[in-house]
Structure 1
Amino acid sequence: MELPDEAASAAFGARLAGLVQPGDVITLTGTLGAGKTSIARGLLAALGLEGEAPSPSFAIVQPYEPPETRMPVLHVDLYRIEEPQEIAELGLDEALADSVLIVEWPDRAPGAWPHALALTLDFAPGGGRRLTAQVPAAWKARWPFPLYPT
């Protein structure tokens, strides 16, 4: 899927907001500046967050709770994580029972979320972004885009 600009990335995130359920994990992979946070911000805004969501790069985990958002969301940025063992200290598994996890830089925790909706962003010719998705079984009935054989 092509996302020509930041507004298209945010709109894609907003569309995801209509599909997410507590217990879902969405991972966002891509280099710096690829648009991961733009998708997360679009999703959070569509879930009711007023104002722009800060990047959780410094805090690592930025929580959102009702009434700020329609459902609990943890926006996680693992960029500064150096060792996979540090992930356990964040308490993400416990929060997953009633929250949506949006995880940027999931490669810092290999294998942690095998059932995640895994989104990858790459730079496209002309300045936009190319988004690819690995859609797990739990998402296939909800996924609004065509699935192509891999």
Structure 2
Amino acid sequence: MATEHRFLPDDQATAALGQHLATTLMAGDLILLHGDLGAGKTALARAIIRALVGDPDHEVPSPTFALVQPYQAGPVAILHADLYRLGDPREIDELGLLDNPNAIVLIEWPERAPELLDAATLEITLSIGAGGMGRDVVISRR
């Protein structure tokens, strides 16, 4: 497993990282986004999705209440999930996150469904930088 550490000083750097990561993703990738509230998980997911669909202004709402938001990038399905409100890890099956083996799936709060860890191709941990400035990011590729 290769691990990379980065510091993102602002939202533009987060968006740039998302755009870069999008170029490395392939159909079937499962990306786990770890981090506390406000660490930037949704901001990074938005940047990735916008890059994948090829529209920097594409509406990408937080999936907090819907749990899963679907998108399409040409022939590739994209699912963006937020498991924060998941009551029981067994509910993950009902969300259909792994039903399409060719979908790119981004999951916030994957700790709520630990069985996803083994299926992940990319894990990203975000944390608020020292003094509340920027974001620290650890990217682990499997």
Q: Under a length normalisation based on structure 1, what TM-score does the superposition of the two structures give?
A: 0.83
Q: Which string of whole-angstrom CA distances, capped at 9 and with x for unpartnered residues, describes residues 71-114 of structure 1?
A: 2100011011021001011111212x121000000000013231
Per the alignment, residue 55 of structure 1 pairs with: 62
The equivalent residue for 2:99 is 94
- Of 41, 44, 47, the residue aligned with 1:42 is 47
The aligned residue for residue 110 of structure 2 is 106
Deviation at 1:124, TM superposition (A): 1.0
1:25–1:113 Cα contact (<8 Å) kept: no
Question: Within 2, Cα distance between the matches of 1:66 and 1:19?
Answer: 14
Which structure features the higher share of helix residues? 2
Tell me the amino acid that sits aligned with residue 27 of structure 1. Answer: L
What corresponds to 2:3 in structure 1? Answer: none
Q: Which amino acid aligns with 1:39?
A: L
Q: Is the 8 A contact 1:124 1:130 kept in 2?
A: yes
Number of aligned residue pairs: give it.
133
Distance in 2 (CA, whole Å) between partners of 1:81 and 1:27 is 15
SS at match of 2:24: coil
Larger fraction in strand: 2
Aligned positions of 1:68-83 closer than 5 A:
71-83=76-88
Equivalent-residue separation in structure 1 for 2:12 and 2:136 (angstroms): 14
Superposition misfits of 4+ residues, deviation over 3 angstroms: none
Aligned residue in 1 for 2:24 = 19
Where do 5+ consecutive residues of structure 1 fail to align? 137-150
Question: What residue ranges of structure 2 are gaps of 5+ in the alignment?
Answer: 1-5
Identity of aligned residues (%): 46
Normalising by structure 2, we get a TM-score of 0.87
Say what the alpha-carbon RMSD is for the aligned residues. 1.4
Secondary structure at 1:12 match in 2? helix
Aligned to 1:3: 8
Shift of 1:115: 3.9
Worse overlay, 52-61 or 113-122: 113-122
